[in-house]
Amino acid sequence: MHKIIFLTLVFSYWSNIFSQQLYLTKRDYSDSSNYIHSLIEIDQENGNTISSYDFVTLFPGSYSPESLVFNEQTNQIFGITSGGIIVNFNPTTNTENSFELPNIQSVDYGDLLIVNNSLFVTKRDYSDSSNYIHSLIEIDQENGNTI
């Protein structure tokens, strides 16, 4: 007889290191009616939490921001959700802003990049299943408009 064990993942994480600081996003879905998405700074020596910030942005599909990038010139951490919401957080001022990329049928967005103080997002157009079009798009860091 086999015993089947079901495990429930209560937290999910996505991490990155910025300017010698380790940050991760955490999704606490222990209460399915109230997911808590947080940005946590971790001590790299001992793994303890240095600081924690709960996002106020509502993320559809319940996924926390991923593909974290840091803009050293503005001191902002950016992350993107699978639903195309970009959130930015400034750990110095403790301020958060967000914007949504255009919702286009057969298009999704992936990773973020910061290059020379410019924000870029990868875009995949799969409207033609035999010819996916991958592109890199520059995004205005304040409002999400394409530059």
Arithmetic mean of pLDDT, 95-105: 91
Q: Report the candidate in 143, 139, 142, 75 with the shortest Cα–Cα distance to residue 111.
A: 139
Using pLDDT thresholds of 50, 70 and 90, give the confidence band for residue 10.
Answer: very low
Q: What is the pLDDT of residues 111-133, one digit of tens each?
A: 999 999 999 999 999 999 899 99
Q: What is the pLDDT of residues 73-91, one digit of tens each?
A: 998 999 998 788 999 999 8
Residues 7 and 132: their CA atoms lie apart, in Å, by 36
pTM (2 decimals)? 0.81
